[in-house]
């Protein structure tokens, strides 16, 4: 049995409060002592935009979790003492959807901070199935980039969600990746696409985020607040022409989770191109879907990342091919209400990882 401290979300517009409770792992479950938990824009949707959680409130939010397994239920004993990243989407592994390779839409999936209590706490209780083991970070041969366990929390959504979209796109040399929204998820999308050999364009309204994107793989950066759609489209076409990339090898990754970003991404659809919707917004957008028909183009959604893809994404991070530290900021868990307010007010330029205090 674990006695833990957790920050509880009770109602929209109210500050989260720290409470104490106990957790006992059932069969196939573990208790993870949280090293870090990242703040995602999905969390903001629950707090500020009225997006409902699947588990009724009160609820502890947080789905970007890393830590160490400190207690195991029956059947999960092999995880005792292991450092792990907890996937943001945890399929059951046994239903028809999982058996057919569609674990991302598993009807029994567990989403920490949505279906069950999440990681804005000292400990979290989750299924053992799908946990991503983390090697000995003290060994420079296994961790040449020098990443700490708390920072690895962002693997559990910000890194792996675009990783899955890019994996599905089969992105590689000779392809164009256009990332709309270069902060958070988009910052990692730029790096993953570049690591796979694609030519990358990044679009955002934040000069600082675009500067980081340029340092980490973007061949072209564009300010969406300074250019109209036509200018952006012409610049992307020019990049593709310079590299000899036909439009059917364009992949557009909408990572901003804003209506403006989604509108920009859709405006860039060309003949045979593929639009991947990675970011989330609860707001509606009016589009002319006939563009997909006229251009014989494709649009796909991407929900989370299958746990079996996590080890490959982790290797990109530990090897240094995808940088975390320039894109993250660690703060104490006790700062949760102020940190949420800062992210909501766009005062945080990096992904905030909240770290429980001893």
Identify whether the C-beta of residue 51 lies closer than 8 Å to the C-beta of residue 45: yes
pLDDT at res. 349: 87
pLDDT at res. 345: 95
Distances (CA, A) of 18 to 9, 15, 234, 324, 357: 9, 10, 51, 29, 13
Q: What is the dihedral of CA 115, 275, 38, 34, to 10 degrees?
A: 60
Rounded mean pLDDT of the chain? 97
* Position 1 confidence tier, pLDDT thresholds 50, 70, 90: confident
pLDDT digits (tens, 9 = 90+) for 249-296: 999 999 999 999 999 999 999 999 999 999 998 899 999 999 999 999
Q: Give the span between the Cα atoms of 292 and 60, in whole angstroms.
A: 40
Residue 358 has pLDDT above 80, yes or no: no
Which residues lie below 8 Å from residue 61, measured CB to CB, with a gap of 6+? 7, 9, 16, 43, 46, 47, 53, 113, 118, 120
Q: Give the span between the Cα atoms of 106 and 83, in whole angstroms.
A: 26
- Match 């300074």 to its residue by tokens: 226
Of 183, 200, 182, 188, residue with least CA distance to 243 = 200
Distances (CA, A) of 77 to 117, 128, 132: 22, 9, 15
pLDDT at res. 206: 94
Q: Give the span between the Cα atoms of 156 and 304, in whole angstroms.
A: 9
Handedness of CA 229, 230, 233, 235 (dihedral sign): negative
Would you identify the CATH topology of the domain 160-301?
Answer: Rossmann fold (3.40.50)
pLDDT at res. 96: 97
pTM (predicted TM-score): 0.96
Q: Give the span between the Cα atoms of 307 and 351, in whole angstroms.
A: 22
pLDDT digits (tens, 9 = 90+) for 167-190: 999 999 999 999 999 989 999 999
Tokens of 205: 């309204």
The CATH H-level superfamily of 2-156+305-355 is Medium-chain alcohol dehydrogenases, catalytic domain (3.90.180.10)
Domain ranges of the chain: 2-156+305-355, 160-301
pLDDT digits (tens, 9 = 90+) for 29-72: 999 999 999 999 999 999 999 999 999 999 999 999 999 999 99
Handedness of CA 306, 313, 202, 197 (dihedral sign): negative
């Amino acid at each position: 049995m674990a006695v833990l401290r957790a920050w509880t979300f009770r109602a929209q517009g109210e500050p989260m409060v720290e409470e104490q409770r106990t957790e006992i792992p059932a069969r196939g479950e573990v208790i993870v002592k949280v090293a870090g938990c990242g703040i995602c824009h999905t969390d903001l949707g629950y707090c500020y935009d009225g997006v409902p959680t699947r588990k009724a409130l009160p609820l502890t939010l947080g789905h970007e979790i890393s830590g160490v397994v400190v207690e195991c239920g029956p059947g999960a004993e092999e995880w005792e003492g292991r450092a792990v990243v907890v996937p943001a989407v945890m399929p059951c592994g046994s239903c028809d959807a999982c058996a057919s390779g569609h674990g991302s839409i598993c009807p029994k999936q567990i989403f920490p901070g949505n279906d069950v209590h999440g990681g804005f706490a000292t400990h979290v209780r989750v299924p053992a199935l799908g946990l991503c083991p983390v090697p000995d970070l003290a060994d420079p041969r296994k961790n040449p980039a020098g990443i700490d366990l708390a920072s690895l929390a962002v693997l559990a959504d910000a890194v792996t969600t675009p990783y899955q979209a890019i994996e599905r796109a089969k992105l590689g040399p000779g392809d164009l990746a256009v990332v709309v929204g270069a902060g958070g998820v988009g910052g990692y999308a730029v790096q993953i696409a570049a690591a796979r050999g694609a030519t990358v364009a990044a679009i955002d309204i934040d000069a600082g985020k675009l500067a980081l994107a340029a340092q980490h793989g973007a061949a072209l950066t564009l300010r969406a607040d300074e250019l109209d759609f036509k200018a952006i489209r012409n610049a992307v076409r020019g990049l593709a022409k310079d590299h000899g990339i036909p439009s059917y090898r364009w992949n557009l990754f909408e990572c901003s989770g804003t209506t403006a970003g989604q509108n920009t991404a859709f405006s860039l659809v060309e003949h045979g191109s593929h639009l991947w919707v990675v970011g989330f917004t609860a707001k509606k957008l009016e589009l002319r879907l006939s563009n997909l028909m006229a251009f014989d183009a494709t649009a796909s959604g991407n929900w989370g990342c299958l746990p079996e893809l996590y080890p490959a994404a982790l290797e990109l991070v530990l090897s240094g091919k995808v940088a975390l530290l320039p894109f993250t900021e660690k703060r104490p868990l006790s700062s949760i209400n102020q940190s949420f307010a800062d992210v909501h007010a766009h005062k945080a330029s990096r992904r905030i990882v909240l770290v429980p205090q001893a």
